Structure 1
Amino acid sequence: MRYAPIPNSLFIKNRKKFTAQMKPKSIAVFNSNDIYPIGADSTLPFEQDRDLFYLSGADQEETILLLFPDALDPKHREVLFVRETNDHIAVWEGAKLSKEEATQTSGIQTIYWLTEFKKVFFDLMTEAEVIYFNTNEHYRQAVETQTREDRFIEKCKKDFPAHQWAKSNPILQEIRGIKEPEELELMQRACNITEKGFRRLLSFIRPGVWEHEIEAELLHEFVRNRSKGFAYQPIIAAGNNANVLHYVENNQECRDGDLILMDVAAEYANYSSDLTRTVPVNGRFTKRQRQVYEAVLRVKNEATAMLVPGTLWAEYHKECGKLMTSELLGLGLLDKADVQHQDPDWPAYKKYFMHGTSHHIGLNTHDYGALKTPMKANMVFTVEPGIYIPAEGMGVRLEDDVVIQETGAPYNLMKNIPIEVDEIEGLMAQK
């Protein structure tokens, strides 16, 4: 792995939090992701299942974690199954985790080769009454591919029809949403790498540069700082492209007088950062561009201040809508009649700001985390308001990642990344 070793104390804590909420005489199983084929002998780069990584730190394919707090034999209360390595694999792919390395990584003492899973699992299921299945219940999920986890669940239901079933996801939603200090350090590292990439761009962007050239500059900076690369597919949208919320073609020329919206960020150790900045291609905002930009910035700052313990996510978004409505009135994009006659289910401001303001972030860019209960300290949220004006050929979005504090204002993990108009113009002038 490119990233520095993570203390296994993090994964030990995470497992304790999970097992504390398991039912008596229950087993929980977590499978690694598949390696997905492209065609011929090509595959996509491997990405570990984030739940398995969260609970074990194991970052290789063909891995299974089993948790059974009530196992009669204490050595079977935590078991990690890993792919057995050999000289052939070592030559062609690189050596996989040894049993000793798997223990060092995860803090789990009992390590078996994956070939032993069927026998050990059957034996332990004779002691268990409940099995936790790890289904994906994220509110944005839209998975059509059958996963390794799906196949395991299907087989398990067939082989053990007398057992009760339970869901691991509600537990994970709760515990993954509140970050440990070690996780916040990893996320800060991802944000610091993102900062280096963004600062590199400010002296690079100019009329005539292409969007994909900006993408290449970022990738260079991210990888040289021990990141795998982008935490998500980068959006580098010049001019009217910014009005396509998920514009990812990144194949157009950046023209004089346009703004360029960049929703781009690095990962580090599987943890995401999520940044958006909008800058003028020629280094100077027009009067109108500055008005819109500063309106978005005011909404971002006021929305950030509302992220405190006890805040309800749904109510928070309603308040953000009120802030945006006020700014749009000031910009002349809405008038009082638009607001008076608005549809409550699709308020007037949605014409220019049609997405949400915040989401959990962590091991996933859109991370697990409770959304229907009050916010808690050490949850990490993005704050990303935007104003999109196709008629004027511009879109502005600004985004930072912030940590809710027990008391006081949220802590901005991206506080060192330039965002004020004067600072951006000053840095872009240093070409």
Structure 2
Amino acid sequence: MHLTRRSLLAGAAAATASLSISIRAQVLPPPGFATPTGTFPFAPEVYRERRAKLMATLKDGVAVIHGAERERTSGPVSPPFYQSGDFAWLTGIVDEPGAVLVLAPAERTYREFLLLPSRDVETERWDVERLPLGSLIEQRTGIQRVRRTSGLDGLVTQLAARSRTLHFMGPITSASAPVPPAMELYGRVMSHVPGCTMKDQSALLPALRTVKESRELELMRKALAATQAGHLAAMKAVRPGMTERQLTAVLEDGFRQGGGEGLSYDSIVATGRNAASLHYAHGNALIGAQDLVLIDAAASVGSYACDITRTFPASGRFTTPQRADYELVMAAQDAAARLLKPGVIHEDMTEAVYALFRKAGRIDEFTHGLGHFVGLDVHDAGDYAKPIPAGAVITIEPGLYNQQMNQGIRIEDLYLVTPTGCERLSTGIPRTVAEIEAFMAR
């Protein structure tokens, strides 16, 4: 072959171009781009510790925890994705719909597996870029073995053939609800692995999640600070003649100004008789001069929720009948709070409130549960039939609702169960009649 200077230069240029294309093809997105972006709100080590704690309790077998699927919509833009609480608590992965976690505590080397749906380049053009399988996902998530969900059945069958035990982590659902995907999977696996059995462990994750870590409480206190800012702004701004929607805007702007990163749930702002509808979600009514305004709303920080309700007079002062009813609801809340300490059963607190309303002849106006656990989910994991442990965070929210009286009254506060009793975390938001009227004084 006769080589000329021109052919040599052309060959070098082609090689350089080929190398350049190869390098460009291998460039991966920088931090913060492409999913999974990492763990949130804590570092991967936190979630690794949680998984290790769970596996130490399970000891052997296989546990499969499914993440949430993306909500289907006919709209032009996908709605926000909300990860399931159990999956988020164990992995910190909040931006990958359809993900699955597999734990195999007795395996010699690899005990954790993250399975993600296959990539769809066309979908990524519209939604969000996703990472290819490889070491970057492992670095971001702290999970060594990452696979595609198409291999889930084969992986679990292989692991079950060695352990012969499948741990069902929940949730237990109504007989009329769809069968949980883990239970469907286990049925298929057991039909192919002789001697393989399923063990109910559905109470385990709620027990672990009920007792809050100090880092979780720190985020919840930040969420409460933002929530306080919003409620105080709304109390100061309310005027007869405003619409509920206008007051909602003031409230939620206050959350943002106070450091809130999102809403714990859709805000409820209801005036007059609208407040007698527990989860009122409209917002067009005019606030009347003699109305009580009920606000059930809270900010979130780091995906951690809180839940606060206040009821206050649009005029800034309670009428005599309003004051009497409000103080009856507050007495009910205080009666329950006096019982809240480690070991109490939730229904005993509820019965104390029932007794008070029954004695007052108002029992038929209290039409919902007394409260719920709060944490990563606003209605967080927990077993109400078991003694409440220290470290739990729970709401107490009695109320009286009467459309004929043109009012609904609810007082809801967040309580941390301490070793000796409880601490009301939402003390910065006026609660008593005197506190509310003094704050709203014009």
Contact kept? 2:38, 2:141, Cα under 8 Å: no
**1:413: how far off?**
2.0
Q: CA deviation at 1:370?
A: 2.1
Q: Distance in 2 between matches of 1:116 and 1:137?
A: 25
Do structure 1's residue 360 and structure 2's residue 390 form an aligned pair?
no
Aligned positions of 1:174-193 closer than 5 A: 174-193=207-226
Match of 2:241 among 208, 211, 217: 208
Match of 1:30 among 65, 70, 73: 65
Aligned partner of 1:386 in structure 2 is 399
Contact 1:263 1:275 in 2 (8 A): yes
Greater Rg over alpha carbons, structure: 2
Tell me by how many angstroms 1:194 deviates.
1.1
**Residue number in structure 2 paired with 1:71:** 107
The yes-or-no answer on 1:426 pairing with 2:438 is yes
Question: What is the CA–CA distance in structure 2 between the aligned matches of 1:361 and 1:293, rounded to whole Å?
Answer: 24
Matches within 5 A, 1:242-257: 242-257=275-290
Q: Distance in 2 between matches of 1:143 and 1:194?
A: 37
Distance (whole Å) between structure 2 residues aligned to residue 117 and residue 158 of structure 1: 11
Q: Work out the percentage of aligned pairs sharing the same amino acid.
A: 29
Cross-structure match for 2:187? 157
Change (3 A) 1:213 1:376: same
Distance apart, 1:233 and its partner CA: 3.0
Paired with 1:285 and 1:278, the residues of 2 have a C-alpha distance of 10
- Give 1:383's aligned amino acid: I
Question: Quick one: distance in 2 between partners of 1:377 and 1:42?
Answer: 43
Corresponding residue of 1:376: 389
Partner residue of 1:6?
A: 42
Distance in 1, Cα, partners of 2:270 & 2:314:
11
Between 378-387 and 158-167, the greater mean CA deviation after superposition: 158-167
Pick one of 318, 323, 329 that aligns with 1:290.
323
**Alignment correspondent of 1:47:** 82
> Paired residue for 1:80?
114
Alpha-carbon spacing, 1:223–1:150, altered in 2? closer, same or farther (3 Å): farther
Instruction: Give me the TM-score of the superposition, normalised by structure 1.
Output: 0.83
Q: How far apart, CA to CA, are the structure 1 residues paired with 2:316 and 2:284?
A: 21
**Closer, same or farther: CA 393–270 of 1 in aligned 2, 3 Å:** same
**Shift of residue 128 of structure 1?**
2.6
SS in 1 for 2:404: helix
Equivalent in 149, 164, 176 of residue 129 of structure 1: 164
Within 5 Å, give how 1:202-351 maps onto structure 2: 202-223=235-256, 227=260, 229-326=262-359, 328=360, 334=361, 349-351=362-364
> Matched residue of 2:73: which SS?
strand
Q: 1:299 to 1:234 in 2, by over 3 A?
A: same
SS across alignment from 2:262: coil
Whole-angstrom distance in 1 between the partners of 2:227 and 2:175: 28
| Equivalent in the alignment of 2:33 | none
Q: Is the 8 A contact 2:68 2:82 kept in 1?
A: yes
Deviation at 1:310, TM superposition (A): 1.7
Amino acid at match of 2:160: M
SS at match of 1:396: strand
- CA distance in 1 between counterparts of 2:63 and 2:158 reads 14
Q: Given residue 236 of structure 1, which amino acid in structure 2 is its aligned partner?
A: V
Distance 2:156 2:283 in 1: 48
CA RMSD of aligned residues (A): 3.0
Q: String of CA shifts for 1:79-99, please: whole Å, max 9, x gaps.
A: 223457798777654444676
How far apart are 1:59 and its partner, in Å?
A: 0.8
Letter in 1 for 2:441: A
| Structure 2 stretches lacking a partner, 5+ long | 1-36
8 Å Cα contact 1:194-1:265 kept in structure 2 = yes
Deviation at 1:34, TM superposition (A): 1.0
CA contact (8 A) 1:131 1:166 kept: yes
Letter in 1 for 2:42: I
Provide the C-alpha distance between the structure 2 equivalents of 1:285 and 1:142, rounded to a whole number of angstroms.
Answer: 47
User: Of the candidates 416, 425, 435, which is equivalent to residue 413 of structure 1?
Assistant: 425
Q: 1:230 to 1:40 in 2, by over 3 A?
A: closer
Secondary structure in 2 aligned to 1:203? Answer: helix
Structure with more relative contact order (C-alpha pairs < 8 Å, separation 6 or more): 1
Residues of 2 paired with 1:304 and 1:222: CA distance? 27
How does the TM-score come out when normalised to structure 2? Answer: 0.81
Output the CA distance in 2 between the equivalents of 1:108 and 1:317: 43
Give deviations 1:179-219, integer Å, cap 9, x for gaps: 22122222222222211211121222111111122223333
SS in 2 for 1:417: coil
- Of residues 413-422 and 55-64 in structure 1, the stretch that sits farther from structure 2 once superposed is 413-422
Q: State which of 86, 95, 98 in structure 2 corresponds to 1:62.
A: 98
